[in-house]
Amino acid sequence: MAMGSTIRNDLRTVPNIITLSRIVLLWLGVLVYFYVSHGVGIALAILAGVTDYLDGYIARRTKQVTRLGEILDQFCDLCFEAFIIIIATLQAFFPPYIIFLYLFREFWVMCLRRFMAGARMNIPSSLAGKVKTNLIMWGFFPTYLSISALVPAAEPYLGHFGRLAVGLGIAAGYYSALGYTKAFAAGYAEATSRID
């Protein structure tokens, strides 16, 4: 990571431009899905999801990894996951408590990381956390195909697969949250002494 980075300089890197484009594509996908075309909205969301791998790959290959990129990437992932779950719930694909389960976990982990960051300590992402993100993000594809009834011959299996992927993603999220909570508990005394 380069020393003396500024937001302006970091925003100009190719990986961060790709991440910003993901955020724009996600917003467009949601708007198009509701107001223009379910199929086009899904296509935009798929494009936003696929580029999630592209920005990180380019950042590592070109050594353009930045703190801003990490923040933007995490923000985009959380927005993507939340939008998927909220929209699918509004379409009665998921029961309403799924939103609660998802947000409860995210708020808890966010609070843990915020406290530790205040003490200049870090709780790194775990494999289970990454599995959670991938299952939910890829689970949206069969979910939205099912909601939109674009492949009726594949039902009810498409819908079952979407529910299973997102459900497993939420379960993996809780498993990772347990690991983050243990890391928080182990570092709590040191973090408190640094803050006090």
> Which sequence spans correspond to the domains of the chain?
1-79, 91-196
What's the whole-model pTM score? 0.83
Q: Give the Å distances, CA to CA, from 143 to 111, 114, 192.
A: 30, 32, 43
Tokens of 192: 């408190």
**In the prediction, which pLDDT does 29 show?**
87
**In the prediction, which pLDDT does 2 show?**
46
Q: Which residues of 53-86 are buried (b: 16+ CB within 10 A; e: fewer)?
A: eebbebbeeeebebebbeebbeebbebbbebbbb
**In the prediction, which pLDDT does 1 show?**
45
Peptide bond into 156 cis (omega under 30): yes
The residue with tokens 């498993």 is 175
**In the prediction, which pLDDT does 196 show?**
64
pLDDT truncated to tens, each residue of the chain (196 aa)? 444 568 888 788 888 888 889 889 988 988 998 899 877 887 888 788 777 778 877 878 888 878 888 888 888 888 889 888 988 998 899 999 999 999 999 999 999 999 998 888 888 889 999 999 999 988 988 998 898 888 899 999 999 999 999 999 999 999 999 999 999 999 888 888 887 6
* DSSP per position, the chain: --TT--HHHHHTSHHHHHHHHHHHHHHHHHHHHHHT-HHHHHHHHHHHHHHHHHHHHHHHHTT---HHHHHHHHHHHHHHHHHHHHHHHHTTSS-THHHHHHHHHHHHHHHHHHHHHHTT---PPPHHHHHHHHHHHHHHHHHHHHHHTS-GGGTTHHHHHHHHHHHHHHHHHHHHHHHHHHHHHHHHHHHHHHH-
Q: Give the Å distances, CA to CA, from 67 to 5, 59, 115, 175.
A: 9, 11, 18, 26
